[in-house]
Amino acid sequence: MEKRYLFTPGPTPVPPPVLAALAEPVLHHRGPDFRLVYASCLERLRSVFRTEREVLLFTSSGTGLLESAVANLVSPGDRVLAVSAGYFGERWAEIARAYGAEVDELSYPWGEAPSAADLASRLDGHRLVLLTHSETSTGVVADVQALAATAREAGALVAVDAVSSLGAVPLETDGWELDIVVSGSQKALMAPPGVAMVALSERAWAGRGSAPRFYFDWERTREAQAQLDAVFTPATSLVVALDAALGLLLEEGLEGAFERHLRLGRACRAGARAMGLELFSPDDDSASVVTAVRAPEGVDAGELVLTLRDRFGITLAPGQGPLKGRVFRIGHIGWFDVFDITTALAAVELALAEAGADVERGVAVTAALDAFERPLTVA
Amino acid sequence: MEKRYLFTPGPTPVPPPVLAALAEPVLHHRGPDFRLVYASCLERLRSVFRTEREVLLFTSSGTGLLESAVANLVSPGDRVLAVSAGYFGERWAEIARAYGAEVDELSYPWGEAPSAADLASRLDGHRLVLLTHSETSTGVVADVQALAATAREAGALVAVDAVSSLGAVPLETDGWELDIVVSGSQKALMAPPGVAMVALSERAWAGRGSAPRFYFDWERTREAQAQLDAVFTPATSLVVALDAALGLLLEEGLEGAFERHLRLGRACRAGARAMGLELFSPDDDSASVVTAVRAPEGVDAGELVLTLRDRFGITLAPGQGPLKGRVFRIGHIGWFDVFDITTALAAVELALAEAGADVERGVAVTAALDAFERPLTVA
């Protein structure tokens, strides 16, 4: 009977109407009941991606569609530039190497933000540039618009991992002329994990390569989707749920969702600071997706996360890679309000105090509430 | 408010407790609540596959894991023998060609059953043989045990598409020394589509090739599963549902499920014959998964399927490929009982009579009930 609180940057909490949609009887993927939902879902995805072109939907995790970018575009020996400053950027480079690409890395220490100037100086005839919009492992949201413009100027195709950013922070697929944008159901789109999607420019369609592929082949799925069909049996229940979740998101409005995430980030940072903790993710509005916080002196962040989970049923995310033990991460992507933030902060405060850490008691929650309510124009 | 009846050979109806499990709040894939379910699901899969080795679980349709067999095993130029007698066998050959395999096809007209003698005469140093256990497009269940033994004798690896057969008809992964067995959640396993699984022999592990792969790479998933971890965020809600469904299946018992499918097939055939229809799938107990029925003179089977769907909310499957318009298919895989069969038959009888076809009225349902109840030893 212990309550559960899911405050990780994916999977994220799913609203009750979305859970209810999941429990509806299974539909046949070629029947009219499903086609109505499918058409609605694909149309809503175009709104969320802000693209006039089709968005391809696959049954897969987000990583599968990062691989699709490589499998559809890269032939062995193609030169790829991977920009990485954390776990997910590094994974993308690894996928490109698995396909025989000649991969150069513009690699930053975890937690830094990639710069367009650095990118410009490294670009040298690369066919494809791999970018990570929100680096979930560090909380850094990169300036994809500037990075993409730089890569485009150099003639490269631009692929963006927007798995944890889409729907939480602004992203303009067409407006920023992004060639490949990948996202997943289980972050700001407020559905369970299991379906992922990719938006593609005409340049991406024209740039397809010779690597072997079948399930993740874009053309097969595009042809089927054009007939509101699916080439392989899709995860129908998850599509029904995703459609319901996208309806909620678009009812709030994308701009409303962006503002809410911005306020949630401010609230989380203000609360953490108020109790005397040091932030690892940037202490500014760029970090609206996930807040990475340094554990105080003498506290192992991994142990803290386990304590919160096992004593209170509250799931935060630990640090990954070089940040293991040093930071914990509070996700605020998707179906979050300020009381999720205050709950997370209250639990962190309690657990740290019990661990004997030097934290200021009784101030974090109020600081978070204040920051959330403050007009946006006051920083 | 019109009721819906899903009588297709996948997706199949999902029992209410499985739908209820889907609607539970989303779990974090690395937390203890999910790991308990994950461990249970993986263990139950081993029971259903009848293997002592691990079964790898992926977020994908079944086709994705057919591709995994090719991507993990086949290097360009490898010789593959694909046995096909319908839509799914042909698809598997197509996947192998997409990976640069040199594919020979032992190809039968749709509806025939492959024979071990034919296979023996075609085997000639092939590395890998691709088999389809239940060919969903025709209703034919192949004698995989005999085919696999023949292929093994010739030194080939044996890969089996068991997507629509596993849990419905006997299959012994270890007992028949099958090297690769692929199945999916949405057929006899009684869960929604979206997760698929593959069981592997030591010979399969030893035979991996050089084709590029990442998401469907077996080793990455094996390593993670050994720690009850997942290398990519799995479709957690579907895993929870699958575990619940496997629990129901194992509660009935695999032998009980096999017998029920056998009786369902007998009932369906007896009813169709009683109203004067001709069977396309074999008129014997090998066809326990799906019954393909020829449309009577002057009736287009595709039109019949549309009428049943649009007037009565009853979804059967049309013919595929060369069988389009000529046959309709009644699935009886998974959560089916005899009254699903009688409903399907009653609706077919009504629609055919209204279409002016020469069918015998008022006998199909009773014939089906009789056949279902008859002791198994009486053919």
pLDDT digits (tens, 9 = 90+) for B279-327: 999 999 999 999 999 999 999 999 999 999 999 999 999 999 999 999 9
B284 and B140 within one domain:
no
Q: Which residues pair with A160 in a beta bridge?
A: A131, A181
Pull the structure tokens for residue A23.
Answer: 């429990």
* Share above pLDDT 90 across residues of chain B, in percent, rounded to a whole number: 98
- Decide if B7 is inside a domain: no
- Decide if A54 is inside a domain: yes
Residue of A nearest to B193 (CA): A235
Chain B residues within an 8 Å CB radius of A302: none
- Decide if A11 is inside a domain: no
pLDDT given at position A378: 54
Residue A268 lies in domain: 253-373
Pull the structure tokens for residue B3.
Answer: 């009721």
Pull the structure tokens for residue A108.
Answer: 């930053």
CA B260 to chain centre: 16
pLDDT given at position A377: 81
* Alpha-carbon gap, residue A46 to A50, rounded angstroms: 6
A273 and A233 within one domain:
no
Rounded to a whole number, what is the distance in Å from the CA of B214 to chain A's nearest CA? 6
Chain B residues within an 8 Å CB radius of A217: 98
Contact A40, A243 (CB under 8 A): yes
Please, is B308 exposed, middle or buried when counting C-beta atoms within 10 Å of its C-beta (0-12, 13-18, 19+)? buried
Q: Do B234 and A309 touch (CB under 8 A)?
A: no
**DSSP state letter for B84:** E
* Alpha-carbon gap, residue B197 to A250, rounded angstroms: 35
**In a mutagenesis test of the B interface, which of A38, A59, A97 is the best target, namely the one with the most B β-carbons within 10 Å?**
A59
A228 and A84 within one domain:
yes
pLDDT at B378 over 80: no
pLDDT given at position B70: 98
Q: Which residues pair with B166 in a beta bridge?
A: B169
- Decide if A47 is inside a domain: yes
A260 and A243 within one domain:
no
Instruction: Going from the first residue of chain A to its last (379 residues), give the mean pLDDT of each consecutive group of 10, the final group possibly shorter.
Output: 92 98 97 97 98 98 98 97 96 96 97 98 98 97 98 98 98 98 98 98 96 97 96 97 98 98 98 98 96 97 98 96 97 98 98 97 98 84
Q: DSSP secondary structure string, B323-371?
A: GTTTEEEEE--SS--HHHHHHHHHHHHHHHHHTT-----S-HHHHHHHH
pLDDT given at position B377: 81
* Alpha-carbon gap, residue A375 to B119, rounded angstroms: 75
Pick from A231, A252, A273: which residue ends a domain?
A252
Helix then strand count (H, E) for chain B reads 13, 14
Q: With an 8 Å Cβ cutoff, is A324 touching chain B?
A: no
Pull the structure tokens for residue B236.
Answer: 């957690």
* Alpha-carbon gap, residue A197 to A175, rounded angstroms: 19
Pick from B203, B225, B252: which residue ends a domain?
B252
pLDDT given at position B1: 73
Alpha helices in A178-253 (DSSP H): 202-206, 218-226, 236-252
Q: Do A13 and B25 touch (CB under 8 A)?
A: yes
B69 and B180 within one domain:
yes
Q: Do B28 and A315 touch (CB under 8 A)?
A: yes
Q: What is the pLDDT of residues B9-30, one digit of tens each?
A: 999 999 999 999 999 999 999 9
Q: With an 8 Å Cβ cutoff, is B80 touching chain A?
A: no
Of A26, A98, A186, the CB nearest to B214: A98
pLDDT given at position A353: 97
Predicted structure pTM score: 0.97
Looking up residue B56, the CATH number of its domain turns out to be 3.40.640.10
Rounded to a whole number, what is the distance in Å from the CA of A226 to chain B's nearest CA? 20
**In a mutagenesis test of the A interface, which of B6, B164, B214 is the best target, namely the one with the most A β-carbons within 10 Å?**
B214
B260 and B227 within one domain:
no
pLDDT given at position A288: 96
pLDDT given at position A1: 73
- In sequence order, what E strands does A20-76 have? 55-59
| Positive or negative torsion for Cα B19, B23, B25, B26 | positive
Pull the structure tokens for residue A233.
Answer: 């049996």
Tokens 């990475």, residue located? A292
- Residue A371's closest CA among A290, A292, A266? A266
Q: Do B216 and A215 touch (CB under 8 A)?
A: yes
pLDDT given at position B296: 97
Of B26, B71, B194, the CB nearest to A235: B194
A291 and A314 within one domain:
yes
HSE-CB at B184 with a 13 A cutoff on CA atoms is: 27
Of B25, B67, B211, the CB nearest to A19: B25
Mean pLDDT, residues B230-245 taken together: 97
pLDDT at B61 over 70: yes
B312 and B213 within one domain:
no
| Positive or negative torsion for Cα B17, B19, B23, B28 | positive
A187 and A303 within one domain:
no
Pull the structure tokens for residue B175.
Answer: 């007992």
Looking up residue A348, the CATH number of its domain turns out to be 3.90.1150.10
Tokens 């990583």, residue located? A63
ipTM tops 0.85: yes
User: How many other CB atoms are there within 10 angstroms of residue A336's CB atom?
Assistant: 24
* Alpha-carbon gap, residue A58 to A233, rounded angstroms: 10
- Decide if B379 is inside a domain: no
Pick from B228, B252, B276: which residue ends a domain?
B252
A98 and A59 within one domain:
yes
Q: With an 8 Å Cβ cutoff, is B302 touching chain A?
A: no
Taking only Cα atoms into account, the Rg of chain A, rounded to an integer number of angstroms, comes to 21
Rounded to a whole number, what is the distance in Å from the CA of A236 to chain B's nearest CA? 7
B312 and B273 within one domain:
yes
Q: DSSP secondary structure string, B233-282?
A: ---HHHHHHHHHHHHHHHHH-HHHHHHHHHHHHHHHHHHHHHTTPPBSS-
Could you give phi then psi for residue B147, rounded to 5 degrees? Answer: -60, -45
Q: With an 8 Å Cβ cutoff, is B25 touching chain A?
A: yes
Contact B129, B119 (CB under 8 A): yes
- Burial pattern A35-71, b for ≥16 Cβ within 10 A else e, equals bebbebbbebbbebbbbebbbbbbbbbbbbbbbbbbb
* Alpha-carbon gap, residue B141 to A142, rounded angstroms: 54
Query: In 3-state terms, what secondary structure has residue B115?
Result: coil
Q: DSSP secondary structure string, B29-48?
A: TTSHHHHHHHHHHHHHHHHH
- Decide if B2 is inside a domain: no
Instruction: Give me chain B's average pLDDT, please.
Output: 97
Rounded to a whole number, what is the distance in Å from the CA of B73 to chain A's nearest CA? 13
- Decide if A142 is inside a domain: yes
- Decide if A6 is inside a domain: no
Structural domain count of chain B: 2
Q: With an 8 Å Cβ cutoff, is B306 touching chain A?
A: no
A284 and A300 within one domain:
yes
**CB within 8 Å of A351: residues ≥ 6 apart:** A304, A307, A308, A311, A312
Strand duo A128-132 + A79-84: pairing: parallel
* Alpha-carbon gap, residue B5 to B340, rounded angstroms: 8
